[in-house]
């Protein structure tokens, strides 16, 4: 899984043009255990709008003075940052599990009454 995320980072780093990963609010996932925001691949069509699944929507503010390609690369960099954090979390979990397994030893079962 870590290698898959690293491969995805490489793919995003090499991206060009006006398509990018964009963090979108997902109205269908309002439960506390589900993420309210998800990453989707979108096409930036202007400095103020993007297209996802054939529907046009408004970009967040802060894109003044940037080209469409610059906006796409900035959003891709945010996605790379998200993936990098996920990789660090997974690596930390792997180390935790390796330490746990190295200390494990068989024990007698305790009956449950």
Q: Average pLDDT over the chain, rounded to whole?
A: 90
- Burial class, 56, CB count within 10 angstroms (exposed 0-12 / middle 13-18 / buried 19+): exposed
Which parts of the chain have pLDDT scores under 50?
none
Per-residue model confidence (pLDDT) at position 21? 96
User: What is the separation of C-alpha 6 from the centre of its chain, rounded to a whole number of angstroms?
Assistant: 12
Per-residue model confidence (pLDDT) at position 91? 97
Per-residue model confidence (pLDDT) at position 37? 86
Residues with Cβ < 8 Å from 64, sequence gap 6 or more? 47
User: What is the separation of C-alpha 47 from the centre of its chain, rounded to a whole number of angstroms?
Assistant: 23
């Amino acid at each position: 899984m870590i290698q898959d995320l690293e491969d995805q980072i490489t793919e995003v780093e090499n991206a060009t043009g006006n398509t990018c990963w964009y963090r979108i609010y997902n109205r269908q996932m309002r439960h506390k255990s589900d993420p309210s925001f998800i990453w989707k691949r979108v096409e930036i069509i202007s400095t103020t709008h993007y297209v996802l699944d054939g529907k046009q929507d408004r970009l967040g503010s802060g894109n003044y003075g940037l080209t469409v390609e610059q906006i796409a690369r900035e959003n891709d960099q945010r996605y790379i940052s998200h993936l990098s954090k996920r990789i660090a979390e997974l690596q930390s979990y792997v180390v935790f599990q390796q330490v746990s397994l190295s200390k494990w030893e068989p024990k007698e079962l305790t009956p449950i009454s």
